[in-house]
Structure 1
């Protein structure tokens, strides 16, 4: 049972990275994106292909997963800038499905539905980080989450964070104030995509195999639920939402009820979470993080808007 809790914590950390990326796109940029699963898959397959076919180390594939996902974030960000709301969500959802179908059908590169197995374990300073011995892997995931959180917190206090907030609140007013809307929206997509790519790389080296069926539409919905549940525009809340959603997802296995709960349990549950949060507490559990710029302390002040 304890190993199962460690497994949940590891997956919570992986999804927390994706939730942080989703938060910069949706929470700060105000863009409803459902494409994190696509970037997640790109990062996973980049690591899987480079390690199994070309003998790269896991650490060597990380920058590739980061840059490749960022490139696709740029490619999906530019043509969808004119879209908003539901239309943007549908367009980004289409991209995620395209990625999954390409992985499923490009047999010569991805091995099709069979996926890629026997991915090497990461090695750091001669020490093998064995996924079956979960403590070391959990610590590695924790380091990645902390680094990503600190970087995003720094970004939120920067010019870019203020510009994204202005764009989210009122694009016309932001443009009138001289903010380059295109630049900051695309930057948000690139950052969100790159972090999801790193999460995918970590997921591949943890499971030691990848298959296209892992990266479904429900992954993107789950990540969006994490951000909405915790609180959009709040990075601590995104991490909290990731841990809550993962524990809820594994609740049937924890309680031994997995055999008596329908396969559609997750879809129903995530839909209910979104509906209830929008009615009961639309700002999320922790609410949006508000910041006071130009103060003597320069510190952020938490609170719900």
Structure 2
């Protein structure tokens, strides 16, 4: 079968346009004028929204296939940025990012699904549970500052008991509140105000945030004892975590009390955002980029980087190595959970399968981070969009035109491309280069006159 050259040329144009779009967005965010930044962000949102909405006859700028790739790339960007924070900037080799991505996806999907069918307990239990466990983390943390020297496993036991009690309290309170709000859902034939489209549009971003929060708090519990291991052993432990999460997904209708997830058959009829999808996708992706950039340029970010460079030297300077590792791991998992929640509510399929979170696909964020460059936010963002649109979009379609089994060849091309990259450019495609807003802040050295006047000024 012949290749569709028209599709090839059009896809290359779209990929190039997307990379230019990312570059211009970073350049606008790095502008000195606040109004230029605001206007640039609004324009960046409007351009893609127009491309998604425009249709003249059979002509569309971004079709349904491109739309799915766009939201998948935005979600992958957040997931890969989280892994880059953990591995590229903090130096902790992790293979568990896909598991936290899956937690965010399933949590957001279940909250939205239950709300759609008139069951608000899913949102109530998770919201209260996340808040209560956050209070537990804060309270036990304050207690541990007074009880110096408590073993890590003992601390983990305290947090685990606190998590159980927080979850139990959340279930009790949610069951007490649910009868009060249940009449507001109405019935399928006569929907109430809480089952309206306006209510669903409010539930969607809440579900995504809860997915991220659930992933972050799970990362806190898991990382507390496991981060004591060395980097290689930590990578093996996180890989095991991802496999366990996938096994729970496959048995979610038997082992876990979630029959609506249907286990290995996959979850169906998941509500989708619709017209607000790009708004929330753009907002969450932008917030993750801005938060991570500002974090890395802060004193906390320098502490995270110091752990990667030399743990012994960082400890000698008074930096709490364990806290910095745990903090980076939790924040990176938060990004992954938000990305997973966004993915499942925006792709338009309404279907979620455990097969999308298996062993092989779990390496995607790691490959993207290595391609873009360890310790490069710009490289991660561009590699995420390039990876999805080129390998999962263009290459998959072109290989599909050669035969039904040909698309699986891309699983052979991935490691070959990665091997060639390691031989030719081991620092990644962009290395340590950053664009616009993501460039490091340059600190001007003090002039000779300022240096001489400093003592006299201090003595006055």
- TM-score, with length taken from structure 2: 0.58
Equivalent residues in 2 for 1:1-305 (5 A)? Answer: 2-3=62-63, 4-53=65-114, 54-55=119-120, 57-107=203-253, 108-109=257-258, 110-122=261-273, 129-130=274-275, 137-206=277-346, 207-246=349-388, 247-255=390-398, 256-257=400-401, 259=403, 262=406, 264-289=408-433, 295-296=443-444
Mapped partners of 1:261, 1:29: distance in 2? 40
2:430 match: secondary structure: coil
1:154 match: secondary structure: helix
Mapped partners of 2:406, 2:231: distance in 1? 31
Mapped partners of 1:90, 1:208: distance in 2? 33
Mapped partners of 1:94, 1:262: distance in 2? 31
Q: Is the 8 A contact 2:369 2:380 kept in 1?
A: yes
Cα deviation digits, residues 194-220 of structure 1 (max 9, x gap) = 111111111111232212111112333
Gaps of 5+ in 2: 1-6, 8-61, 124-202, 446-460
1:233 match: secondary structure: coil
Q: Is the 8 A contact 2:297 2:440 kept in 1?
A: no
Closer, same or farther: CA 209–33 of 1 in aligned 2, 3 Å: same
Mapped partners of 1:121, 1:248: distance in 2? 25
Higher-helix-fraction structure: 2
Q: Report the number of matched residues.
A: 286
Larger radius of gyration: 2
1:283 match: secondary structure: coil
Q: Is the 8 A contact 2:396 2:407 kept in 1?
A: no
Mapped partners of 1:261, 1:118: distance in 2? 29
Q: Is the 8 A contact 2:113 2:270 kept in 1?
A: yes
Mapped partners of 2:249, 2:355: distance in 1? 9
Q: Is the 8 A contact 1:225 1:273 kept in 2?
A: no
Q: Is the 8 A contact 2:77 2:381 kept in 1?
A: yes
Q: Is the 8 A contact 2:264 2:353 kept in 1?
A: yes
Gaps of 5+ in 1: 123-128, 131-135, 298-305
Q: CA deviation at 1:294?
A: 7.2
2:344 match: secondary structure: helix
Cα deviation digits, residues 25-57 of structure 1 (max 9, x gap) = 011011111111111111111112122223452
Q: Is the 8 A contact 1:48 1:209 kept in 2?
A: no
Q: CA RMSD in A?
A: 2.2
- TM-score, with length taken from structure 1: 0.86
Closer, same or farther: CA 294–157 of 1 in aligned 2, 3 Å: same
Closer, same or farther: CA 30–111 of 1 in aligned 2, 3 Å: same
Cα deviation digits, residues 78-123 of structure 1 (max 9, x gap) = 222233343222111110010010111121413211222212233x
1:79 match: secondary structure: helix
Aligned to 2:187: none
